Structure 1
């Protein structure tokens, strides 16, 4: 799990939204010293319908830009650090243009946008930030800038009007502002191009926060706000799985029934096939819904899944609900990075062996290592077969397979 889940969420979120508009780099190194820029954006196209749909964020993304999002109110020291990184980037770009014998214009230099949940009047006055809306009515309240050559702007998220135009920035806010933005996001049509991806990133943030036992009150409130949305997604996946399973089962059942009807009477065969198909379809639907739950959980917990983790999805989906719930709870306590993924695969294999063999002795622990070394397809097939074997048959099978 990342040490700073909110920071990682903000980077992933901005990258997801801005990628269609241009090139996005996260955690870009600054050459002068070991420092990183959160998000470095370079537009590759002019104003587009997609960019317009992002509202204020799309407006900020019409020029090269550095985005520095903060979970808590930005401090004077942090602002100075951000500006230092900005000027280092400017110097780097100007050196590059000189080596390539081309002219670097002011318009080509990136702007710095500091995204902060709140900003006090004292902070704004101390740096001389001016509200852009006072001189340009095309900008909304909550957007500030310094002199044009300083190329630095600040978004005070708590001052943004609660409109669709500011939604995608208010998601990065805090407390009630963020909660309302999440509610607005959830209320968007289900086929909205950004709704699903933004919610998945929020669910990933939720999973990372839940591992932390020392949460701030606002983080607990955020988890509570996301929990019903996550439950809705799981319920929708289950329902979709049932519907698809029933439809597939009916179709297969009718085909089987027609074939049987040639010998037993077409009408009787079709009726029997439909009944069998519905029963088969409901069962397939439940299994498919459970598979979707498992797959979504693993992706939220570990991100991109390797072949080994994909191989255990189907075996996990056929476990009894009680055993699956306990196993998912244990998996949720693991980190989301590479060591956590490897530990998760080991936990799954150990769980399957414990179901059939009880407490694992040293020999069976060695067998766990051997099973994890199998090609993913062989591991998947073996785990699916475990519940079909008696204890003796299983030990014999493992002996044949693993030597």
Structure 2
């Protein structure tokens, strides 16, 4: 199982969804013996409504640490997460003492461990219990002073309120959630962000070899979504190009304006396509990578297609050398 792409996807996903509600940090180091927190969340003093995020928004009602897992939790995973939580408590207490103050219980973050599944024996061993009346199924709480909850994604009810957490599941649960995401109206701002992150995950998985059947199924489910978004981006580019061409080309004639607009639109669609591929393979684009986009687009059709097929095997240095 290629865990790292999913780990990065989960961090980016939670950061994008929670940023409107407060301050979000990913991969934050704490303590002398460095432990890395996946997602640290602090709500704003004047919180934004989180109702659009359903159950995830409820988890983010107070300061929180989110630790998402791709595979089922084991004993060591839970203990490691709780170790991070206690390190945070100690860190906040030291900060308060330096300021001649004390930490209020309400200001301590709550730990939310998110896992696709968890065994009954594991949950029982930690004294995890449900509060179905207030939280429904799938959300377990440890003893109050531990300030820890375990979200078992595959036990969550299939409702709109749980959608944003079920997208962090795996297999059929995640694919069902993707189907529901696609059905959301296009004007939903969160939908576009999540689809972009899923498409980036797809591109990263395609670069890897020896994919498991579950990962191949995920790629197959995401492929038509990616193709549709690429077609929409290209069409949007064409329409914008036509409009720009018409506006700029009136003096030169309507016919030339339309031709130029179509050319610009096609080029803009290709640019979006190349940028997404480079971003999926190398992360955020720096000046060097942005500098090869124009030469990339200037290749002949044969060279362009050949380089696309070779891209997954090329390192950053090899790709830059190709254009230098």
Q: Name the TM-score, length of structure 2 as normaliser.
A: 0.93
The alignment partner of 1:54 has SS state of: helix
Residue 360 of structure 1 corresponds to none
Q: How many angstroms does 1:250 deviate by? A: 3.1
Residue 149 of structure 2 corresponds to 153
Residue 29 of structure 2 corresponds to 29
Taking a change above 3 Å as real, the CA distance of residues 280 and 98 of structure 1, as seen in their structure-2 partners, is closer
Instruction: Tell me, in whole angstroms, the C-alpha distance in 1 between the residues paired with 2:194 and 2:136.
Output: 23
Residue 390 of structure 1 corresponds to none
Q: Name the TM-score, length of structure 1 as normaliser.
A: 0.76
Instruction: Tell me, in whole angstroms, the C-alpha distance in 2 between the residues paired with 1:85 and 1:309.
Output: 37
Taking a change above 3 Å as real, the CA distance of residues 47 and 23 of structure 1, as seen in their structure-2 partners, is closer
Instruction: Tell me, in whole angstroms, the C-alpha distance in 1 between the residues paired with 2:136 and 2:319.
Output: 47
Instruction: Tell me, in whole angstroms, the C-alpha distance in 1 between the residues paired with 2:45 and 2:185.
Output: 27
Instruction: Tell me, in whole angstroms, the C-alpha distance in 2 between the residues paired with 1:343 and 1:132.
Output: 55
Residue 171 of structure 2 corresponds to 175
Matched, 1:323 2:298: no
Residue 319 of structure 2 corresponds to 344
The alignment partner of 1:39 has SS state of: strand
The 8 Å contact of residues 20 and 48 in structure 2, kept in 1 or not, is answered as no
Structure with more relative contact order (C-alpha pairs < 8 Å, separation 6 or more) = 2
Deviation string 1:141-183 (CA, Å, 9 cap, x unpaired) is: 1101011111110000001111111111111100011111112
Instruction: Tell me, in whole angstroms, the C-alpha distance in 2 between the residues paired with 1:56 and 1:150.
Output: 21
Residue 93 of structure 1 corresponds to 92
Instruction: Tell me, in whole angstroms, the C-alpha distance in 2 between the residues paired with 1:178 and 1:15.
Output: 19
Instruction: Tell me, in whole angstroms, the C-alpha distance in 2 between the residues paired with 1:47 and 1:277.
Output: 49
Residue 5 of structure 1 corresponds to 5
Instruction: Tell me, in whole angstroms, the C-alpha distance in 2 between the residues paired with 1:152 and 1:331.
Output: 43
The 8 Å contact of residues 291 and 316 in structure 1, kept in 2 or not, is answered as no
Q: How many angstroms does 1:32 deviate by? A: 4.2
Residue 107 of structure 1 corresponds to 106
1:45-64 alignment runs, 5 A limit: 45-49=45-49, 51-64=50-63
Instruction: Tell me, in whole angstroms, the C-alpha distance in 2 between the residues paired with 1:298 and 1:161.
Output: 37
| Matched length | 323
Matched, 1:286 2:261: no
Q: What's the C-alpha RMSD, in Å, of the aligned pairs?
A: 1.9
Residue 39 of structure 2 corresponds to 39
Deviation string 1:329-374 (CA, Å, 9 cap, x unpaired) is: 222334xxxxx44432222x1xxxxxxxxxxxxxxxxxx4xxxxxx
Instruction: Tell me, in whole angstroms, the C-alpha distance in 1 between the residues paired with 2:281 and 2:182.
Output: 21
The 8 Å contact of residues 207 and 332 in structure 1, kept in 2 or not, is answered as no
Matched, 1:274 2:270: no
Q: Structure 1: give runs of 5+ residues left out of the alignment.
A: 257-272, 335-339, 350-367, 369-403
